């Protein structure tokens, strides 16, 4: 008895126009690597919470730690990873570092991810 999977073609075929169109849409390898690293950084629940908090307002490390419910040391560590992926940046005011989302691309990425997750 043959088992047929619904999610696979039942026959092997190639659609050259569709293949060419899809290949043309592929970003460069460098871009794929950078985008993949960015999505990995966002995929961590703690970092996602930090980004969500920063989408509302600029916050210092102490405030972020309180909002997210982790230590200031862990918050700083997570922020370093987010900064390395250009998702957040900061400004210093005296001895306090205030963090914010880098730009509207990050805000839209976060918004889209949350909206997609809420769809049922």
pTM: 0.84
76 in Cβ contact with 46 (< 8 Å): no
Asked, for residue 97, whether it belongs to a domain, the answer is yes
Centre a 10 Å sphere on the Cβ of residue 54 and count the other Cβ atoms it contains: 24
Element (H or E) spanning 118, and its range?
Answer: helix 104-118
> Is position 57 within any domain?
yes
pLDDT band at 45 (very low <50, low <70, confident <90, very high): very high
Assess contact for 63 and 54: CB atoms under 8 A. no
Segment 38-51 shows an average pLDDT of 96
Report pLDDT digits (tens) over 93-111.
Answer: 999 999 999 999 999 999 9
pLDDT above 70 as % of the chain:
96
DSSP 26: P
- pLDDT at residue 82 tops 80: yes
Confidence at 21, pLDDT banded by 50, 70, 90: very high
> What are the start-end ranges of the E strands in 1-120?
59-60, 88-93, 96-101
What average pLDDT does this structure show over 67-92? 97
- Interatomic CA distance for residues 24 and 27, integer angstroms: 8
Give the per-residue pLDDT at 1: 55
Domain count, the chain: 1
**Domain, as residue range, for 55:** 45-118
- Which pLDDT score is estimated for 2? 56
Query: Could you tell me if residue 77 is inside a domain?
Result: yes
In a domain, 82, yes or no: yes
Q: What is the pLDDT of residue 7?
A: 83
Q: Is 114 within the bounds of a domain?
A: yes
pLDDT value of residue 3: 59
| CATH number of the domain encompassing residue 86 | 1.10.10.10
């Amino acid at each position: 008895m043959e088992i047929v999977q619904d999610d696979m073609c039942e026959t092997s075929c190639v659609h050259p126009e569709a293949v060419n169109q899809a290949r043309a849409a592929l970003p460069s390898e460098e871009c794929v690597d950078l985008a993949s690293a960015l999505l990995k950084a966002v995929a961590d629940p703690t970092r996602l919470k930090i980004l969500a908090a920063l989408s509302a307002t600029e916050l210092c490390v102490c405030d972020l730690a309180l909002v997210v419910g982790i230590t200031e040391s862990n918050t700083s560590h997570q922020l370093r990873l987010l900064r390395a992926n250009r998702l957040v940046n900061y400004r210093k005011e005296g001895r306090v570092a205030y963090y914010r989302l880098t730009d509207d691309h990050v805000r839209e990425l976060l918004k889209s991810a949350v909206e997609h997750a809420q769809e049922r």
